[in-house]
Amino acid sequence: MLSNKSPIGISPETFKDFIYSKNKHFKYFQDNGIDIAVFGKTINPEESDARIYQNLLVFAYVTQNLKPGSVILEIGNSNSPVFKALSLKGYDCRKLNFKINDRETDTYDNVKTKIEWILKNDKGEIIKDEDTTIADFLYSVSEFDKISETHELFESVYIKMKNSVKPMAYSLLCFVGSINKDKQIWNNKFLNYLSGKNFNSNITDQNSLIIKDKDLFFLSESFFEKHWKLSNEIKYEELGKM
């Protein structure tokens, strides 16, 4: 059980304060020992990026709103720290891996895509009858930022997610966004697609608030230089607020 040191709570009723990342959220994570539980150390905004933040957010939401033993489904192919941390807390964690094979395409609407889904338990063992898994909660950590922006793919992934959770179950789908020098926000169009669906994922249009918010959390230059520079040709000032 989390402590009540922070005045910021995270629940379906208060989630509107967590729709996009803010620096003050790290105080909440620290006060409740969330960073220690997930990463084994204190995490400050200048020592974080979007994926680290998302891991903390997912852990906070799950541990405060769902009981151990609940079926938690992560969609993605990465080894996210929060998956292991939730398993250690007694949650029934399962991972839905996917492999996308794009075939010939001529337009956005006519692209042909084949998706292979593989369900695994927290030990990495394949669960053969994947259709029997109905999760209490579903989440993703930046897994949809680079998928092809095609209608067929969006529809296939959406249907798969919808059929993988219990009726009225919540989901937490985390995306990376970037604000360019013209103060325009980039994100994968799958986020916009989900905005028009009744998927209980609390997605809403917050672009104007995000751009103006002085407490907005984004990648620091020091973290970029230390962890991102060697794997990216782009310079920090060209990256935009991400």
Residue spans of the domains in the chain: they are 15-177+187-203
Structure tokens at 131: 């259709």
Query: What is the full DSSP assignment across 175-194?
Result: ---EE-TTS-EE--HHHHHH
pTM score > 0.85 for this model? no
Residue 61 φ then ψ, to 5°: -65, -50
Q: 199, 191 in Cβ contact below 8 A?
A: no
pLDDT value of position 152: 86
15-177+187-203: CATH architecture: 3-Layer(aba) Sandwich (3.40)
> How far apart, in whole angstroms, are the C-alpha atoms of residue 145 and residue 165?
22
Spatial CB neighbours of 115, under 8 Å, sequence gap ≥ 6 = 98, 99, 100, 101, 153, 156, 157, 160
Q: 48, 71 in Cβ contact below 8 A?
A: no
pLDDT value of position 77: 84
pLDDT value of position 193: 85
Q: 91, 62 in Cβ contact below 8 A?
A: yes
Profile the chain (242 residues) by mean pLDDT over runs of 10 residues. 50 88 92 96 87 94 97 90 96 90 51 77 82 85 83 88 90 79 72 72 62 75 57 54 48
pLDDT value of position 115: 82
Burial class, 82, CB count within 10 angstroms (exposed 0-12 / middle 13-18 / buried 19+): buried
pLDDT value of position 106: 44
